[in-house]
Structure 1
Amino acid sequence: MQRFALIGAGFIGSVHAANLAAHRGIDFALVFDVDRARAEAVAAEHGARAAASLDEVFDPGAIDAVLIASSTDTHAENLRRAADAGIAAFVEKPIDLDLAAARETVAYVEASGIPAMVDFNRRFDRDHGELQRLVRQGAVGAVELVQLTSRGPASPPLDYVRVSGGQMRDQTVHFFDLARWITGEDPVEVFVAGSALADPRIEQFGDVDTSVATLRLAGGGLIQIDSVRRTGYGYDERIEVMGAAGLVESRRQQAGNVVRYSSRDAVADGLHAGWFERVRSTYAAALASFVTSLDDGTTPAVTLEDGLKAQAIAEAAAASLRSGRPEHVVYDAPLLKRTRM
């Protein structure tokens, strides 16, 4: 049994708490949150104990692994504390909103040798996984064009937008990671056009809510990602990969598969109401993958280097949004090893 502690008892923390408690290979021991009452509520719900301090969490005599779901500005610090304690770490993205600080943190954690994984959970979507497998097996031949869609149902609160890092770093970064994982290649250039259409007030933060990013692969293949914060029809996520030999698609998913027919029309179920309803199962699958890697002593499926590379693309995308021209993606090779995507 892997003894886990959870840091962060907010919305995502509560999602992880349920998955920690449900996993048969996990002893869900501790919950810590700066809001003690919130930590106690989550711990009581799942049979864990609320930790009085982070010193309890980072005790290698009591804890084997920590799941970091705290506020973004604490991710890097908690990763470093895990490294110092010799405790494995599973962390929500990003490692740090500042790419340079994220790189320094990754170098520090790698030097410690602890297992660490970034929660790019969409890699664990069943349909996306099958699409990736087929593409890597050569089902479409050489990849020529990839289309990814990320369209959320509602604009987030302005208070969230203010600290999120912007659409490229917060929303689209998941699809930058998917693009790398699916193609097995690192994009070399990105161009982004965007507008604030759903809520013009976000322009005060230099952000957009509707954007199209075009990425170029070293071999000339192209990737297009359209990201929307607000739709009028539910949550829409899909991927299409075209190559010289054909096409493979991970389709948008409906909330159900019942169609009601009458003499005049047919009415089908709509899309999921929100992003979480669509991807809920991927959080448990990502955690299960991490636990398996700990049990087997293998490299986690999504490494910290993977997190850095997706973030490097996001930084170039944000720069392109500001400059209005294509930007080269700088991966900073001295700090990055060749990763298994």
Structure 2
Amino acid sequence: MMGQEHLRNIALIPGARVGAIFEPDAAMRVAASGLAPGAVMVDSLAEVLAVAEVNCLLIASPNFLHLAQLEEIAAIRALPILVEKPLFTDPADAPRLAALRAAYPAPIWVAMEYRYMPPVAHLIAQAQAATGGIRMLTIREHRFPFLEKVGDWNRLSQKTGGTLVEKCCHFFDLMRLIAGCDPVRVMASGGQSVNHLDEVYDGQPSDIWDNAYVIVDFENGLRAMLELCMFAEGARYQEEISAVGPAGKIECLVPGPGRFWPAHLGDAPVPQVIVSPRDPKGPVVLDVPVDPALLAAGDHNGSTFYQHQGFARVVRDGGATQVSLRDGWWAVAIGMAAQQSAISGQAIDLTRVDYAPKG
């Protein structure tokens, strides 16, 4: 699904096209070929890199493959890369990521689509002015269960990194971006309460969590909380984000994928941003509609297009990526700490764990 969303959005970027695709699953290979009929279909990552006209790469493979594929690219032909989150799934692999980060000579942009959703981007841009300096940040996601994936890889924490890494690294990235500094402590409670309870894959019961609360403390004193529920697809809005400070509150409301909205209810909800000053009191509501062509290209409220637009500028003109390896690494580290906290019942000091970025 995500690979196909990327293909549809690349097709919307002026001057960009897909030169080669490595897709090992037969059905997905047919689907990808239909979306990018001019692309050469190959049988390995090395064959993609051997296509001379390919000048940048997208990685949209299962989570547990990302780091090894980055290392393979580094060893063969280091090109600019847009890599889907999460960067890695095992805390023990952090030294490998550190080595890659130190040596890779080309830009690597970690795909954090939520930054680029128009209502979320509006909140980020206006948050300091609306709040007078954020003290509390809350992200609520009430959504549908994990979708079916090729080979059911997303049903096992061993392959995904766990729900708080796989799904929630997006939100931890947003927290850190909005805070403008690094986290220092994580506390969490979570588990598997409703979804996939009776599912077994290759003899292993599904162990993927479907709900959690996570509290993150940051260096500057900002407190952030995530509320995740993955059996709440009946909700009007999928994400609700609020930032509060001494001057007021700003929040955004983001609907889920339009294809899941019940047709009998009419048009899907329009994203909104609401600013609620303390003085003078009175919320101001702003609709933030998304271009219908971008909505049709994927499930992320147009954000994948804006992400590719930025990545294309980096490939063509140079400069730094907007979401660095360090950013992507921190998002994973917070998720890993949250899972460790939920299992142990203890707060995790992020300044003392081996899997958090150093420097």
Equivalent in the alignment of 1:218: 219
Instruction: Give me the whole-angstrom Cα distance separating, in 1, the residues matched to 2:81 and 2:153.
Output: 28
1:78 partner SS: helix
Supply the AA of the counterpart residue of 2:171. Answer: F
Out of 33, 57, 62, the residue aligned to residue 48 of structure 2 is 57
CA-CA distance at 1:281 after TM superposition: 1.4
Q: Is the 8 A contact 2:137 2:224 kept in 1?
A: yes
**C-alpha distance in structure 2 between counterparts of 1:93 and 1:55, whole Å:** 22
TM-score with structure 1 setting the length = 0.82
Query: In the TM superposition, what are the counterparts of 1:216-255 in structure 2 within 5 Å?
Result: 216-234=217-235, 236-253=238-255
Residue 255 of structure 1: CA displacement? 8.1
Q: Does 1:320 align with 2:351?
A: no
What is the CA distance between 1:294 and its match in structure 2?
1.8
Structure 1: how far apart are the matches of 2:74 and 2:19?
19
Which of 124, 131, 154 aligns to 2:123? It is: 131
Q: Any conservation in 1 of the 2:139–2:239 contact (CA below 8 Å)?
A: yes
Distance 1:68 1:168, change over 3 A: same
> How many Å apart are 1:65 and its aligned residue?
0.6
Considering only aligned residues, what root-mean-square deviation do their CA atoms show, in Å?
2.9
Q: Is the 8 A contact 2:141 2:238 kept in 1?
A: yes
User: Does 1 or 2 have the higher relative contact order (CA < 8 Å, sep 6+)?
Assistant: 2
Equivalences for residues 136-175 of structure 1 within 5 A = 137-156=128-147, 160-162=154-156, 163-175=159-171
Amino acid paired to 1:297: G
Q: Which amino acid aligns with 1:180?
A: R
1:217-263 Cα deviation digits (max 9, x unpaired): 2233211110011115145102100011211111243889xxxxxxx
Letter of the 1:150 partner, please give it: E
- For 1:254 and 1:20, the matched residues in 2 are separated by 22
Give how far 1:72 is off: 1.9
Match of 1:113 among 73, 85, 105: 105
- What runs of 5+ residues in structure 1 fail to find an aligned partner? 1-10, 257-266
Cα separation, 2, equivalents of 1:31 and 1:61:
13
Task: Give the letter aligned to residue 312 of structure 1.
Answer: A
CA shift for structure 1 position 117: 0.7
Q: Determine which of 197, 200, 203 is the counterpart of 1:201.
A: 197
The separation in 2 between residues aligned to 1:104 and 1:131, in whole angstroms, is: 35
Per-residue CA distance 1:104-151 (angstroms, 9 max, x = gap)? 23432441311101101100111111111122x443123211110111
Letter in 1 for 2:197: R
2:309 is the alignment partner of 1:288: yes
2:145/2:210 contact within 8 Å kept? no
Shift of 1:42: 1.5
Deviates more, 1:206-215 or 1:124-133: 206-215
In 2, the alpha carbon distance for the partners of 1:159 and 1:269 equals 34
Cα pair 2:108 2:321 within 8 Å, conserved = yes
Aligned to 1:42: 32
CA contact under 8 A between 1:210 and 1:227: conserved in structure 2?
yes
Aligned-pair identity (%): 26
Determine helix, strand or coil for the equivalent of 1:220: coil
Q: 1:291 to 1:332 in 2, by over 3 A?
A: farther
Q: 1:27/1:205 Cα in 2 relative to 1: closer, same or farther (>3 Å)?
A: closer
| Cα offset, 1:207, TM superposition | 4.4
- Letter of the 1:121 counterpart: E
Q: Quick one: structure 1 residues 43 and 318, their matched pair in 2 at CA, closer, same or farther if it must change by over 3 Å? A: same
Helix, strand or coil at the partner of 1:240: strand
Given the superposition, is the C-alpha separation of residues 86 and 323 from structure 1 closer, same or farther in structure 2, using an over 3 Å criterion? same
Deviation at 1:155, TM superposition (A): 4.8
TM-score (norm 2): 0.78
86, 101, 120: which is aligned to 2:78?
A: 86
Q: What is the alpha-carbon distance in structure 2 between the residues aligned to residue 51 and residue 249 of structure 1?
A: 45
Counterpart contact for 2:329–2:357, Cα < 8 Å: no
**Contact kept in structure 1, 2:111 and 2:307, CA below 8 Å:** yes
Q: Residues 48 and 142 (structure 1 numbering): CA distance in 2 closer, same or farther, change over 3 Å? A: same
> Counterpart of 2:155 in structure 1: which amino acid?
V
Q: How many Å apart are 1:312 and its aligned residue?
A: 0.9
Instruction: Select 1:98's aligned residue among 69, 90, 110.
Output: 90
Mapping 1:176-191, distance limit 5 Å? 176-191=172-187
Distance in 2 between residues matched to 1:87 and 1:29, nearest whole Å: 14
Contact 2:108–2:324 (Cα < 8 Å) also in 1 = yes
